[in-house]
Structure 1
Amino acid sequence: MPEQPQWSERTLDMPPQDPWADQPTAPGTVPTPPPPADPAPFSRGRAQVNPQPHHTQRYAEHEPTGIGWPGAEAPGAPHGMTWRWSELRRGSEWTTAAVLFAFVCWGIWALSGGGPLGTPLIVFAVTLAVAVGVFCLARVVGYVVLERQFGRRRRTARGSHLVTALFLAGVGVADLQQTQWVMDAYHWVAGQIS
């Protein structure tokens, strides 16, 4: 088996591959003058470098917390109690439907009494004021329990609206229970079913 040549024997002697270098000439020949040069795309000299604007701060300051966006508060940090209108409106359909139900039930109770409507109007106004208080109390309890204790951020007021709706539905049912003819009709239907 023939012997393999060494790596140094396998390389070729190549002239330098510099494109701007002078062309190699054979020994004993006169070099030919280069052809007239077109305006070269490159020229010798010093390149102009535009100065970089000086930045005092290259990166945003960020305290690594492991999660979240730079600049955001760390998880578990207490937030102030928010009462943004867009946040309070989410879930308001529950309260709106319950106010409508309570108003209809109150109207049935007030008109069935047969007396002047002054006292029933005061009762309904006080009921609405208590419903506002229930809503505010539910917001405060949600803030203390969810945001302060569990560190969870609330984006809506659906829970508070649901609690208020349950209160108003209970008031409407109580108004219907105080109306004699409604209770008679209820007992008659219940007797027919059983």
Structure 2
Amino acid sequence: MADQTQPWAERTVEVPPQPGVGVPAQRDAFRRGVAAVGQRRTPRTEPFPVVDAGERPWAGPAAPRRPMGWHLAQLRRGGEWSAAGGLFAFVCWGIWAISGRGDLGAPLLIFVLSLLVAVGLFALSRLLGRVIWERQLGRVRRGARGAHLVTALFLTGVGIAYLQQTEWVMDAWNFVTGR
């Protein structure tokens, strides 16, 4: 047993050698007391084949692959614009649809088609942004704010068009403006 008066860090315990248990074999380049800094290691796997630009002239320089979550986060940036435009269009559509005093089936179909056109406009804006902003100008897009802004302007215009088709809203507007 070790002397208890020694500090714990200086105590050692002797373990008798056990049969079948030995020191593991060392790597080839291992030398005791010499660091392997700056020495080239052999790669564990084969590197990916490099495709030069001559084989794919249409693509330009290859961009690194990013996870799907990164792409979704890019699409969400600026989404408050589209949400605000969609909310405005929905409220204006509701005023127009309720003022019609009829079946809500046709007005609902019209609103859904308006939203589908807005989604198509968003996709077209993203495509144009990719072609013009990234490919032609060589810039990096940091979100979808421009496409969301274009979509919000479209949905605001749709909402105003709904209000212009509502008789009592136009009467109130004409009264306020003095026409």
Give the alignment's TM-score, normalised by structure 2: 0.65
Q: 1:95 maps to what in 2? A: 82
- 1:77 deviates by 4.2
1:20-39 alignment, distance < 5 Å = none
Stretches of structure 2 lacking an aligned partner (at least 5 in a row): 1-31, 42-59
Among 86, 91, 94, the alignment partner of 2:73 is 86
Deviation string, structure 1 residues 99-139 (Cα, Å, up to 9, x no partner): 11000000001011111000000001111111111110000
Q: 1:56 maps to what in 2? A: 40
Specify the code of the residue in structure 2 equivalent to 1:182: V
Matched, 1:179 2:163: no
Matched, 1:123 2:106: no
Alpha-carbon distance change, 99 to 107 in structure 1, aligned in 2, over 3 angstroms: same
CA distance in structure 2 between the aligned counterparts of 1:162 and 1:150, rounded to whole angstroms? 20
CA distance in structure 1 between the aligned counterparts of 2:64 and 2:133, rounded to whole angstroms? 12
> In 2, are the aligned partners of 1:106 and 1:175 still within 8 Å (CA)?
yes
Q: 2:152 maps to what in 1? A: 165
Q: 2:139 maps to what in 1? A: 152
Specify the code of the residue in structure 1 equivalent to 2:124: L
Stretches of structure 1 lacking an aligned partner (at least 5 in a row): 1-48, 58-75
- 1:53 deviates by 1.8
Which structure is larger by alpha-carbon Rg, 1 or 2? 1
Q: What is the RMSD of the two structures over their aligned residues, measured on CA atoms?
A: 2.5
Q: 1:109 maps to what in 2? A: 96
> In 2, are the aligned partners of 1:78 and 1:148 still within 8 Å (CA)?
no
Deviation string, structure 1 residues 25-66 (Cα, Å, up to 9, x no partner): xxxxxxxxxxxxxxxxxxxxxxxx722326217xxxxxxxxx
Identity of aligned residues (%): 56
Matched, 1:138 2:125: yes
